[in-house]
Structures are given as structure tokens and as C-alpha cells.
């Protein structure tokens, strides 16, 4: 799923979870709040509309290497 994550999305998600990055605008901040509180069905729906954010939120919430991978992507590199 990492292929869908843009450096911008990685930075926004890292910031939202207090792990670096930089703050998003108000719409994206609210979107990240929606992702963070969504049940599985609504998370899927949001991910269909915003795949880069869905992949990034899933990475930081469920992948033990998610923060590392998002940091690499945020810096413009390719995550392993």
C-alpha cells in the first residue's frame, strides 16, 4: 500500500500523530481526524476517496515500521 503515499501525505500524517512532518491545512486536518476515528467500513470509504492518506494512516496505526517508512517517504525517498 506504500506506493500510494505521497511525501505530502506522509508529512501530514506524521505531524497529526506527533511524529514529525508538518501540519496540513484545515480540511486535511479534519480528514485525518475522520480517518483516526473511523470504523473499518468508513475507513475503507475514506481510503477510496483519499488513498494516499488511507495508506499513510494505516501504516502509522498498524505497521511496526510505519513511522520509519513514512519518515523516509516524507523526505522524498522510497520506503523499503
Assigned domain for 80 exists: no
Assigned domain for 55 exists: yes
Whole-angstrom distance, CA of residue 44 vs CA of residue 64: 21
Read off the C-alpha cell for 32.
485525518
Assigned domain for 50 exists: yes
CA distances from 2 to 25, 26, 27, 59 (A): 22, 24, 23, 8
**What's the domain range around 63?**
2-74
For 56-69, how does the pLDDT look when each residue is reduced to its tens digit (9 = 90+)? 999 999 999 999 99
Longest CA span, the chain: 31
On the question of pLDDT at 53 being above 70, the answer is yes
Assigned domain for 23 exists: yes
Helix 26-37, helix 51-62: angle, nearest 10: 50
Read off the C-alpha cell for 62.
498498524
The predicted structure's pLDDT at residue 1? 44
Amino acid at each position: 500500500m506504500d506506493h500510494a503515499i505521497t511525501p505530502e501525505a506522509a508529512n501530514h500524517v506524521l505531524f497529526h500523530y506527533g511524529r514529525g512532518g508538518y501540519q496540513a491545512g484545515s480540511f486535511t486536518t479534519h480528514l485525518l481526524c475522520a480517518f483516526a476515528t473511523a470504523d473499518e467500513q468508513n475507513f475503507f470509504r475514506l481510503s477510496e476517496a483519499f488513498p494516499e492518506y488511507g495508506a499513510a494512516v494505516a501504516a502509522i496505526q498498524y505497521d511496526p515500521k510505519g513511522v520509519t517508512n513514512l519518515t523516509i517517504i516524507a523526505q522524498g525517498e522510497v520506503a523499503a
